[in-house]
Amino acid sequence: EVCDHWLYPEFSQRYLAQCGTLSVVASVIFSSSRPESTKATIEMLEKCVGDATNGCVIEGIHAEGPIIQDRGGLPGGESEMSLSDFKLLCSTMPSMKVMTISPSKDAPKGFERIKHLLDIGVRVSLGHDRQASESDVLGALKLVGQVADASDKKNADNRMHSTHLFNVMHHHHRQPGLINFLMCDKLPAAEKYAGCEVPTVEVIADLIHVHPVVIQSMLSARNASDIAIISDCISSYDPGKRLKYNGRTIAVRAEGGCYLCDQHGKPSTTLAGSTVTLADQFFSLITYFRQDVSTACLLLATNPARVAKIDDRVGSIAKGKKANLLILTSELNTITKRMVHGKWLDMGPHRMLRPSFGHL
């Protein structure tokens, strides 16, 4: 059961480190049919934050919901939660770094839940929203300036982020949705856009969730310092493997995607996750998208750490940071050694996947 992975963090931490991911912000989803499991998962993660004894270090929590408009592959949840209940939920996650929230869902409430996230210093990540109108998006973006003006922390980093660009979002050439805004490096110099800073973006670059031509478009459109590459990895690469996801069956297909299955057990076209890791995407960025090593590291480590507000300790090699290092072969196909918090892990070599265009 994928939803229960973080109830047994030692396994996931060892597996992630073996595959080259040395720190992680653990994603939590909010299923209305499994509230006790979600509560137990949060409690377990909070106990493990910062512990470097099991390999990959859990640095905090990314809450993917519950205030979301379009679920995609996510299970049903309580998206109409009151502000008081929302504040209570947030209080159970003191290590929450990022929360995904749909602007069209919070707009009718005056963006009260987004305002609360800004007040408590959690990174607001807009996403899971095919319904968001231009006014919904602008209403959310303008909150950042309002909170900054009212705060004593003049240099507080409140810039918004966006969850898995393109997936579960809308684009239109005359009625702009989230994608239209997120593909802009800057907004037009018009009064209606004054005070709005375009959010940073993240992309699942496994060549399955997003077509490589679209990935290339995004890399061309946005400044490299505003892009984070994520994996959405929920399983090892084992074609034919079956798992449960909130009680629903998912299947791993040969190209590396994890798909929800229909009532007959046949994989549908709805993606629930991936099997491709960050290290696998390091190869793709350099080989297919012609990024140099420094830029690939920026996209995979430095930028994600800044988005998650953990760049004071990880994400780059610098004095005073935690010394998380990977050593790869020059062919970029094998991880040979891993250092976490300045100590070498006792793990053997790991042969990386090489994501391909073969399924397209």
Which residues pair with residue 27 across a beta bridge? Answer: 62
Q: What angle do CA 263, 264, 265 make, to 5 degrees?
A: 95
What tokens appear for 132 in the block? 């968001």
Question: In Å, how far are 15, 85, 202, 312 from 113, measured between CA atoms?
Answer: 35, 10, 22, 27
What's at 319, amino acid-wise? K
pTM more than 0.85: yes
The pLDDT value recorded for residue 154 is 43
Distance of CA 126 to the CA centre of its chain: 11
**What's the distance, CA 95 to chain centroid?**
16
pLDDT in tens, 76-96: 889 999 999 999 999 999 999
Q: What is the pLDDT of residue 153?
A: 52
d(CA 137, CA 171): 13
* CA 354 to the chain's CA centroid: 21
Half-sphere exposure of 348 (CA within 13 A, CB side): 1
Q: Could you give the strand order of the β-sheet that contains 267-274, starting from the edge strand earlier in sequence? A: 242-245, 248-252, 257-261, 267-274
Length of the chain in residues, anyone? 360
In this prediction, residue 232 carries a pLDDT of 92
* Alpha helices (H) in 121-260, listed in sequence order: 134-150, 178-182, 212-221
Cα–Cα distance for residue pair 293/191, rounded to 1 Å: 40
CA-CA-CA-CA torsion sign (40, 41, 42, 48): positive
CA 223 – CA 234 distance, rounded (Å): 29
Looking at residue 357, its pLDDT comes to: 84
Which of the residues in the chain have pLDDT under 50?
154-155
Distance of CA 326 to the CA centre of its chain: 21
Confidence at residue 69, expressed as pLDDT on a 0 to 100 scale = 95
Q: Are 83 and 143 in contact (CB under 8 A)?
A: no
Do strands 123-126 and 201-204 pair parallel, antiparallel, or not at all (unpaired)? unpaired
> How far apart are the C-alpha atoms of 337 and 347, rounded to whole Å?
7
Alpha helical stretches, state H, 75-124: 83-91, 103-106, 112-119
Interval 208-233: pLDDT, tens: 999 999 999 999 999 999 999 999 99
